[in-house]
Structure 1
Amino acid sequence: MSETMFHPRTSSATTPGRERFPADVPGLRFASARSNLWRVAAPDGTVLGHIERVAAEDGERFLARRARPGLARAIELGGFTTSRDAAEVFR
Structure 2
Amino acid sequence: MSTLSTASRSSHPVIGRAAAGLGFTQLNNGLWRVTRADGSVLGYVEQPDVGKGGAYVAKRLGNDRRSFFTLGDFRSFSEALECLRFS
Considering the TM-score relative to the shorter chain, is it more than 0.5? yes
TM-score by length of 2: 0.74
Identity across the alignment (%): 31
Contiguous gaps of at least 5 residues in structure 1: 1-9
2:3 aligned partner:
11
CA contact (8 A) 1:32 1:39 kept: yes
CA contact (8 A) 1:67 1:73 kept: yes
1:31-66 C-alpha deviation (Å, 9 max, x unpaired): 01111211001111011111011329x841001101
Q: CA-atom RMSD, angstroms? A: 2.3
CA contact (8 A) 1:60 1:81 kept: yes
Contiguous gaps of at least 5 residues in structure 2: none
Q: How far apart, in 2, do the equivalents of 1:31 and 1:89 lie?
A: 17
Residues paired across the two proteins, number = 78
Q: Which secondary structure state, in structure 2, belongs to the residue aligned with residue 86 of structure 1?
A: helix
1:80 aligned partner:
74
Q: Which secondary structure state, in structure 1, belongs to the residue aligned with residue 59 of structure 2?
A: strand
Q: Relative contact order (C-alpha < 8 Å, sep 6+): which is higher?
A: 1
> Within the alignment, does 1:65 sit opposite 2:59 as a pair?
yes
Structure 1 residue runs of 4 or more that deviate by more than 6 Å after TM superposition? none
TM-score by length of 1: 0.71
Larger % of helix: which? 2
Say which one has the larger Rg.
1
> Within the alignment, does 1:35 sit opposite 2:29 as a pair?
yes
Q: CA deviation at 1:69?
A: 6.1
